[in-house]
C-alpha cells in the first residue's frame, strides 16, 4: 500500500487509497446490488412456482397463447447484446475506444429490437383482450384462473422490460461518456459495472424464456 | 520510528498520533451552511441528517401513540372516532417500523460511526449514501401525501384482501415504503462494500469492532430481504391499479401468499432493527467495564447466525392464517432456534461484566435496562413461537407487549445507549449526566408501566387493535396509559438536555470514556476526513489491558493517501518506541 | 487490503473466447427450443431439462461474460448466496402451499 503514495490519479476519489481499491469496491458494490435484483425477481418467480404447482394444467394451456418463435428470437437478441457488452469491455481494456463505442451502439440497437418485439407481443395480446387481472376479456381459455397466469406473465416480463429500458439509458450514458473520452484501460469502472447489470438482465431472461414460452 | 508487524507480508512504518483535545477544524466547522449540508457527501453529516429525520418521525409516531393510549383510557369512546383510531394505530406502526426503527441505528448512528471504526475517510460510495438519504425523504413525502388524503387504516402489515379494498390511500403508502426500501438496500450495499474494502491497515476480520460485525449482518439482511418487500408492495400496488388478482381471493388469488411474501421481509426486518442494537451494546458494555469482551467470535458469529436463522422463521406470524400444518410445525421448531444465538449474546455480555470495573455512566445504565427488557421480550417470544400457546395469544395485547419489549426495550434502548455513548464524539459536547440518569429512570419506569399490564390483559384475551374493551380490562389500560405519559415525559427530558448540551454543554475531550475503539482516536467532533493520518491497528478493539499509546498509531508517512497533516496533529505527533 | 488482487480482475478475455461463449449460448437456446417443441419428454422431466439448460446458460454468462471465473471468489459467492436465499424462500413457501388441506380456503 505504501508504495502507491505518490500516485493519486484524477479519476480516483479522495477516500480511496488507489485505483485498484476503487475498482474492486465498485465491482463488489455492483455484485451486492445484483444480489438484491435477483431476490427482487425472486419474489415474482416464487409466485410463478406456487401457482404453477397449484394449477399445472393452466400453465400448459395458457402458454400456448405465447409465441415461442418471437420469444426465441428475443432470447437470441439478448444473448447477442450480452456478447457485445462483453466485447465493449474487452475493447476498453485494450484502449480501443472506437471498438467500445461501436459495441455499445450495437448493444443499444439490440436492446431496442428486444423492446420492439416485446411491444408487438403485448399489443397482439391486448388486441385479443388478454389484459392483466380484472381487465382480462379473452374467451379462448376455459380455465377460471387464466387471468392470474397472465398477471404473472405481465408482471415478470413487464418488470424485466423496465430493467431493459433502464439498461438502455445506462448504456447510452456510458456511450456519451466514451465519446467524451472518459474511459481508457486505466479507468473503465462504469463500463464494467454497467456491463454486469446488463448481463443480469440477460440472465433473468434466460430463465423467463423456458418458464413462460416453452411449456408443453 | 517504531515499526509494527501488521501482517505476515508487510512491515509498515508507524508513529503515534495523539488526537488533539482542541481541534482547529472539524466536520462541523468546515463546509458550513444549509446548501453544504444538503449536498454533503460526508458520512458524518449524512448520519446527523438521518438522526434528525428519525427523531422527527419518532416524535410523530410517539404523539400518535399517546393519542391512542389516551383514547384507550375508557372502555368506550374517549375522544376520537373508531375510524380515526384505526388510522392512528396504522400510522403509528408504519411510521415507527419503516421510518424510525429500520433506519435508526444503521443509517443514523451506523453512518456516523462505521467509517470511523474502520479508519476510513468515508463509506465506499459517498454519493450513493447521500442518494439513499434523499430516497428516504421521497418515501416520506409519499407517506405524507397519504396522510393528507384519506390516511391509511389497514394496519402496518397491509394484509390483503383488506388492503386491496380499503378506501384509504394504500397506494401512496405502499409506494412510499417501496421507495424507502431502496434507501435501505443502498445503505446495506454501501456498508457491505465499505467493510470489505475500506479497512485501515491492520484491521483484520478478527479485529473488527463488534458493532461492525452487527452492521455487517444487518446489511446482509437488508440486501437479501428488502427486495422481496419491494416486489410484494409493487404487486400490491398493481393489485389496486389493475386488479391482477395474485393475492386477492375475489379474483381467485391467495391472500396467505401475500403474508408469506410480506413476512419474508418483515420477519428478517425485525433483525434489521435489533441486530445493530446488539452491536452498540457490545461497544458500550466493554467501554464501561474496561475489559475485553467475553467471547468475541461467539458474539460476532451469532450476529450472522441470527441473520441467517431470521430468514427461516417468518411463518410464525401466520400460525392462525390457514397455512398448512406441516409449515406451521416446521416454523415453530425453527423459531426456537433463534433463541440460541440470542442467548449466546446475552450470556457473553453478562460474562463481560464479570470482574470488570463497571462505571455506571448513562450509556451503561441503558445497557442494563436493555439486558432486562430485552430478555423479557425474548422469553415471551419463545412462548409466542410455541404453537399451542400462540393459538391463544395470537393477535392479543400479549403480542403487542412482546413486540414493544423487543423493539422498544431492545432497539430503542440500544439506540439511546448509542446516542448517549457517541454524543460527545458527534457534537463535541457533554450532556448533563444527572439529568440523563433521571431520564433513563423515567424511561424504565414508564416503559414497564406501559407494557407489563399489556402482557396480563393479552393473556386474558384482550385483542390488539380494538377500539373498545370490556370493563374487566379498564385497570390495565389505564395503568398502561399513565405509563405512556411517563415515557413521553422521559423522552422530552432527553430531548431537552441533549439540545441544551449543544449550547451550554461542557466541552468533551477526544475520548471521554477512555475507550479503546478507533473512533475515539479522532478529535471530538472529528475532522472532515475523520483522521488526519491513516490509522494503523495492532490490537483488538477491546484490548483494555494494553496501553492507550498502542491504539494511536498511524502511518508515519503523513503525506500518504492525500492526508494533509494539520498543525495540531504535527505538534501532537510524537514518536513511540514500543 | 486489496493490493495483492491486481492479477485477479484485470483479466482480458480474447475475442475468440467471447465468441465461443456466445455461440454456445446460441446452440443451447436452439437445443432447448427443439427439445420443448419437437421432442415429447414426459413430465416432470421436460421442466427439469429446460431448467437445466437454462442453468448451464446462466452459468456461462456468469462465468465468462460477467468474468466470475477470473474474478475474486467472493463475488461468485454473492451470486450463489442470492440463489440460495431465493431457493430457501421458494422451498419454505411450498412447504405451506403444497400441503394445504384446501388449496385456496373457501370462505
Per residue in B233-260, pLDDT tens? 999 999 998 889 899 888 888 999 999 9
Provide the pLDDT for residue C104. 55
> Cβ(B16)–Cβ(B577) under 8 Å?
no
In terms of CA atoms, which chain A residue is nearest residue C40?
A216
- pLDDT at residue B575 is higher than 60: no
Return the SS3 of B483: helix
Provide the pLDDT for residue B149. 87
Name the nearest CA neighbour of C82 among B149, B321, A31, B254: A31
Contacts of B333 in chain C (CB under 8 A): none
CB nearest A155 (choices: B190, B235, B560): B235
Q: How is residue B559 written as a grid cell?
A: 503525506
* Residues 388 through 417 of chain B touching chain A, CB cutoff 8 Å: none
Provide the pLDDT for residue C4. 40
Contacts of A37 in chain B (CB under 8 A): 227
Sheet holding B553-555, edge to edge: B2-5, B11-16, B553-555
* Residues 493 through 522 of chain B touching chain A, CB cutoff 8 Å: none
Domains of chain C, residue spans? 12-97
- pLDDT at residue C61 is higher than 60: yes
C105 shares contact with chain B (CB less than 8 Å)? yes
Provide the pLDDT for residue B532. 86
* Residues 57 through 76 of chain C touching chain B, CB cutoff 8 Å: 74
- pLDDT at residue B408 is higher than 70: yes
C100 shares contact with chain A (CB less than 8 Å)? no
Model confidence at B9, in pLDDT bands (50, 70, 90)?
Answer: low
Residues B8-12: what's their mean pLDDT? Answer: 67
- pLDDT at residue B324 is higher than 60: yes
Q: Which CATH class is domain B2-572?
A: mainly alpha
Contacts of A27 in chain C (CB under 8 A): 9, 71, 75
Q: Are the beta carbons of A43 and B232 separated by less than 8 Å?
A: yes
The answer to whether the Cα torsion of A192, A195, A197, A203 is positive or negative is negative
Q: Tens of pLDDT along B257-293? A: 999 999 999 999 999 999 999 999 999 999 999 999 9
Which subunits count as partners of chain A given 3+ CB pairs below 8 Å? B, C
C88 shares contact with chain B (CB less than 8 Å)? yes
A3 shares contact with chain B (CB less than 8 Å)? no
Phi-psi region for residue A169, left (φ > 0), alpha (ψ -120 to 50) or beta? alpha
Name the nearest CA neighbour of B13 among B2, B28, B26: B2
Model confidence at C96, in pLDDT bands (50, 70, 90)?
Answer: very high
Query: Which element (helix H / strand E) includes A24?
Result: helix A19-54
CB nearest B327 (choices: C81, C82, C99): C99
- pLDDT at residue B10 is higher than 70: no
Residues B140-152: what's their mean pLDDT? Answer: 89
- pLDDT at residue C6 is higher than 60: no
Provide the pLDDT for residue B150. 85
In terms of CA atoms, which chain B residue is nearest residue A144?
B252
How near does any CA of chain C get to the CA of B546, in Å?
Answer: 25
> Cβ(C29)–Cβ(A82) under 8 Å?
no
Residues B377-394: what's their mean pLDDT? Answer: 93
Domains of chain A, residue spans? 17-213
Determine the Cα–Cα distance for residues B93 and B100; give it in Å rounded to an integer. 10
Contacts of B199 in chain C (CB under 8 A): 1
Eight-class DSSP state of B8: S
Instruction: Decide which of B10 and B425 is more confident.
Output: B425
Q: Are the beta carbons of A25 and B232 separated by less than 8 Å?
A: no
Please state whether the peptide bond connecting residue C44 to the residue before it is cis, i.e. omega within 30 degrees of 0.
Answer: yes
Model confidence at B8, in pLDDT bands (50, 70, 90)?
Answer: low
Q: Are the beta carbons of B323 and C81 separated by less than 8 Å?
A: no
- pLDDT at residue B157 is higher than 80: yes
Provide the pLDDT for residue B559. 55
> Cβ(B541)–Cβ(B209) under 8 Å?
yes
Q: Tens of pLDDT along A51-94? A: 999 999 999 888 888 999 999 999 999 999 999 999 999 999 99
Model confidence at C42, in pLDDT bands (50, 70, 90)?
Answer: confident
Q: Are the beta carbons of A133 and B243 separated by less than 8 Å?
A: yes
Q: Residue B472 contacts by C-beta under 8 Å, 6 or more apart in sequence?
A: B460
Q: Are the beta carbons of C95 and B324 separated by less than 8 Å?
A: yes
In terms of CA atoms, which chain A residue is nearest residue B224?
A36
Task: Kindly list the residues of chain B whose beta carbon comes within 8 Å of any beta carbon in chain C.
Answer: 196-197, 199, 201, 224, 228, 249, 252, 254, 256-257, 260, 264, 311-312, 314-315, 322-327, 330
* Residues 26 through 65 of chain C touching chain A, CB cutoff 8 Å: 26, 29, 32-33, 36-37, 40, 43, 46-47, 50-51, 53-54, 57-58, 61-62, 64-65
In terms of CA atoms, which chain A residue is nearest residue B128?
A29
Task: Calculate the average pLDDT of chain C.
Answer: 85
Model confidence at C102, in pLDDT bands (50, 70, 90)?
Answer: low
Q: Which CATH class is domain A17-213?
A: mainly alpha
Provide the pLDDT for residue A142. 81
Q: Are the beta carbons of C97 and B228 separated by less than 8 Å?
A: no
Residues C96-102: what's their mean pLDDT? Answer: 84
Q: Which residue of A20, A26, A47, A136 is the best one to mutate when testing the B interface, meaning the one whose CB has the most B CBs within 10 A?
A: A47
How near does any CA of chain A get to the CA of B472, in Å?
Answer: 45
Alpha helix segments (H runs only) across B288-412: 296-309, 325-353, 362-385, 387-393, 397-406
- pLDDT at residue B566 is higher than 70: no
Domains of chain B, residue spans? 2-572
- pLDDT at residue B180 is higher than 50: yes
Would you give the distance in Å from CA B485 to the centre of its chain?
A: 24
Q: Are the beta carbons of B561 and A17 separated by less than 8 Å?
A: yes
Q: Are the beta carbons of B227 and A151 separated by less than 8 Å?
A: no
Provide the pLDDT for residue A2. 37
Provide the pLDDT for residue B168. 87
In terms of CA atoms, which chain A residue is nearest residue B530?
A15
Determine the Cα–Cα distance for residues A110 and C18; give it in Å rounded to an integer. 17
Alpha helix segments (H runs only) across B428-524: 433-459, 474-504
Cβ neighbour number for residue B188 with a 10 Å cutoff: 29
Residues C66-95: what's their mean pLDDT? Answer: 93
Interface TM-score (ipTM) > 0.90:
yes
In degrees, rounded to 5, the angle at the alpha carbon of residue B530 between the alpha carbons of residues B526 and B531 is 105
CB nearest C89 (choices: B199, B228, B330): B228
Cβ neighbour number for residue B273 with a 10 Å cutoff: 27
In degrees, rounded to 5, the angle at the alpha carbon of residue B122 between the alpha carbons of residues B116 and B127 is 150
Which subunits count as partners of chain B given 3+ CB pairs below 8 Å? A, C
Lowest mean pLDDT among A161-170, B224-233, B469-478, B554-563: B554-563
* Residues 174 through 213 of chain B touching chain A, CB cutoff 8 Å: 185, 188-190, 192-194, 196-198, 201
Mean pLDDT per segment of 10 residues, for chain A of length 216 residues?
A: 48 82 92 95 96 92 90 95 95 94 97 96 92 83 87 95 97 96 92 96 95 87
Instruction: Decide which of B556 and B471 is more confident.
Output: B471
Q: Which residue of B160, B220, B256, B330 is the best one to mutate when testing the C interface, meaning the one whose CB has the most C CBs within 10 A?
A: B256
Q: Are the beta carbons of C97 and B201 separated by less than 8 Å?
A: no
Provide the pLDDT for residue B329. 93
A7 shares contact with chain B (CB less than 8 Å)? no
Residues B175-203: what's their mean pLDDT? Answer: 94
Alpha helix segments (H runs only) across C39-72: 45-60
Determine the Cα–Cα distance for residues A195 and A26; give it in Å rounded to an integer. 12
* Residues 40 through 79 of chain A touching chain B, CB cutoff 8 Å: 40-44, 46-47, 50-51
In terms of CA atoms, which chain B residue is nearest residue A149?
B246
Amino acid at each position: 500500500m505504501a508504495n502507491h503514495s505518490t500516485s493519486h490519479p484524477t479519476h480516483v476519489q479522495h477516500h480511496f487509497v488507489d485505483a485498484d481499491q476503487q475498482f474492486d469496491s465498485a465491482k463488489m458494490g455492483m455484485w451486492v446490488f445484483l444480489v438484491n435484483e435477483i431476490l427482487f425477481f425472486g419474489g415474482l418467480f416464487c409466485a410463478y412456482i406456487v401457482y404453477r404447482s397449484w394449477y399445472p394444467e393452466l400453465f400448459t394451456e395458457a402458454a400456448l397463447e405465447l409465441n415461442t418463435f418471437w420469444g426465441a428470437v428475443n432470447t437470441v437478441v439478448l444473448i447477442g447484446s450480452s456478447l457485445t457488452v462483453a466485447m465493449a469491455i474487452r475493447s476498453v481494456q485494450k484502449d480501443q475506444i472506437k471498438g467500445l463505442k461501436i459495441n455499445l451502439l450495437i448493444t443499444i440497437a439490440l436492446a431496442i429490437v428486444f423492446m420492439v418485439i416485446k411491444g408487438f407481443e403485448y399489443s397482439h395480446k391486448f388486441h385479443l383482450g388478454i389484459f392483466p387481472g380484472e381487465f382480462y376479456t379473452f374467451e379462448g381459455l376455459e380455465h377460471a384462473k387464466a387471468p392470474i397466469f397472465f398477471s404473472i406473465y405481465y408482471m415478470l416480463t413487464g418488470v424485466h422490460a423496465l430493467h431493459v429500458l433502464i439498461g438502455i439509458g445506462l448504456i447510452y450514458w456510458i456511450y456519451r461518456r466514451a465519446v467524451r473520452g472518459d474511459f481508457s484501460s486505466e479507468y473503465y469502472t462504469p463500463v464494467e459495472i454497467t456491463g454486469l447489470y446488463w448481463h443480469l438482465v440477460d440472465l433473468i431472461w434466460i430463465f423467463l424464456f423456458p418458464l413462460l414460452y416453452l411449456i408443453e | 520510528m517504531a515499526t509494527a508487524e501488521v501482517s505476515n507480508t508487510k512491515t509498515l512504518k508507524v508513529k503515534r498520533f495523539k488526537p488533539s483535545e482542541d481541534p482547529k477544524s472539524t466536520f462541523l466547522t468546515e463546509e458550513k451552511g444549509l446548501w453544504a449540508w444538503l449536498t454533503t457527501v460526508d458520512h458524518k453529516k449524512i448520519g446527523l441528517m438521518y438522526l434528525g429525520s428519525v427523531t422527527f418521525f419518532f416524535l410523530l409516531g410517539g404523539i400518535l401513540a399517546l393519542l391512542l393510549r389516551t383514547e384507550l383510557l375508557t372502555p368506550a369512546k374517549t375522544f376520537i372516532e373508531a375510524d380515526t383510531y384505526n388510522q392512528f394505530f396504522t400510522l403509528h406502526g408504519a411510521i415507527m417500523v419503516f421510518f424510525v426503527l429500520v433506519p435508526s441505528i444503521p443509517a443514523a448512528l451506523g453512518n456516523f460511526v462505521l467509517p470511523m471504526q474502520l479508519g476510513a475517510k468515508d463509506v465506499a460510495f459517498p454519493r450513493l449514501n447521500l442518494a439513499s438519504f434523499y430516497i428516504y425523504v421521497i418515501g416520506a413525502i409519499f407517506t405524507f401525501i397519504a396522510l393528507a388524503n384519506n390516511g391509511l387504516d389497514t394496519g402496518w402489515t397491509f394484509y390483503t384482501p383488506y388492503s386491496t379494498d380499503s378506501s384509504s390511500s394504500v397506494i401512496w403508502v405502499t409506494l412510499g415504503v417501496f421507495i424507502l426500501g431502496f434507501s435501505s438496500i443502498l445503505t446495506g450495499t454501501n456498508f457491505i462494500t465499505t467493510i470489505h474494502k475500506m479497512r485501515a491497515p491492520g484491521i483484520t476480520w478478527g479485529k473488527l469492532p463488534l458493532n461492525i460485525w452487527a452492521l455487517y449482518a444487518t446489511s446482509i439482511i437488508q440486501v437479501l430481504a428488502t427486495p422481496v418487500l419491494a416486489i410484494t408492495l409493487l404487486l400490491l400496488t398493481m393489485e389496486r391499479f389493475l386488479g391482477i388478482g395474485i393475492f386477492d381471493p375475489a379474483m381467485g388469488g391467495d391472500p396467505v401468499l401475500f403474508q408469506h411474501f410480506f413476512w419474508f421481509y418483515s420477519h428478517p426486518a425485525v433483525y434489521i432493527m435489533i441486530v445493530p442494537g446488539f452491536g452498540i451494546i457490545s461497544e458500550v458494555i466493554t467501554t464501561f467495564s474496561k475489559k475485553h469482551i467475553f467471547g468475541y467470535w461467539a458474539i460476532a458469529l451469532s450476529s450472522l447466525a441470527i441473520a441467517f436463522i431470521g430468514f427461516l422463521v417468518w411463518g410464525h406470524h401466520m400460525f392462525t392464517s390457514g397455512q398448512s400444518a406441516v409449515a406451521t410445525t416446521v416454523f415453530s421448531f425453527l423459531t426456537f432456534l433463534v433463541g440460541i444465538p440470542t442467548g449466546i449474546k446475552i450470556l457473553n455480555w453478562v460474562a463481560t461484566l464479570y470482574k470488570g470495573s463497571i462505571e455506571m455512566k448513562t450509556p451503561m445504565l441503558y445497557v442494563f435496562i436493555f439486558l432486562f427488557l430485552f430478555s423479557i421480550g425474548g422469553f415471551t417470544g419463545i412462548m409466542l413461537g410455541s404453537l399451542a400457546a400462540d393459538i391463544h395469544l395470537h393477535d392479543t395485547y400479549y403480542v403487542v407487549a412482546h413486540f414493544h419489549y423487543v423493539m422498544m426495550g431492545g432497539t430503542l434502548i440500544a439506540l439511546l445507549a448509542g446516542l448517549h455513548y457517541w454524543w460527545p464524539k458527534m457534537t463535541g459536547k457533554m450532556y448533563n449526566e444527572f439529568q440523563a440518569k433521571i431520564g433513563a429512570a423515567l424511561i424504565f419506569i414508564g416503559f414497564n408501566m406501559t407494557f407489563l399490564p399489556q402482557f396480563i390483559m393479552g393473556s386474558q384475551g384482550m385483542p390488539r387493535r380494538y377500539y373498545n374493551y370490556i370493563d374487566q380490562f379498564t385497570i390495565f389500560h389505564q395503568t398502561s396509559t399513565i405509563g405512556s405519559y411517563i415515557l413521553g415525559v422521559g423522552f422530552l427530558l432527553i430531548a431537552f438536555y441533549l439540545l441544551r448540551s449543544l449550547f451550554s454543554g461542557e466541552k468533551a475531550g477526544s475520548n471521554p470514556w477512555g475507550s479503546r475503539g478507533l473512533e475515539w482516536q479522532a478529535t471530538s467532533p472529528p475532522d472532515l476526513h475523520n483522521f488526519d493520518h491513516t490509522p494503523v491497528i495492532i490490537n483488538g478493539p477491546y484490548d483494555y489491558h494494553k496501553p492507550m499509546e498502542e491504539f494511536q498509531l498511524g502511518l508515519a508517512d503523513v503525506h500518504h493517501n492525500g492526508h494533509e497533516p494539520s498543525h495540531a496533529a504535527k505538534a501532537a505527533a510524537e514518536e513511540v518506541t514500543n | 487490503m486489496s493490493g495483492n488482487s491486481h492479477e485477479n480482475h484485470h483479466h482480458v478475455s480474447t475475442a475468440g473466447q467471447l465468441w465461443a461463449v456466445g455461440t454456445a449460448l446460441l446452440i443451447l437456446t436452439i437445443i432447448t427450443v427443439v427439445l420443448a417443441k419437437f421432442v415429447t419428454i414426459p413430465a416432470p422431466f421436460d421442466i427439469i431439462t429446460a431448467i437445466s439448460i437454462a442453468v448451464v446458460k446462466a452459468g456461462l454468462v456468469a462465468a465468462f461474460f460477467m468474468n466470475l471465473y477470473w474474478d475474486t471468489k467472493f463475488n461468485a459467492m454473492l451470486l450463489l448466496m442470492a440463489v440460495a436465499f431465493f431457493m430457501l424462500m421458494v422451498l419454505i413457501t411450498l412447504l405451506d402451499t403444497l400441503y394445504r388441506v384446501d388449496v385456496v380456503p373457501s370462505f
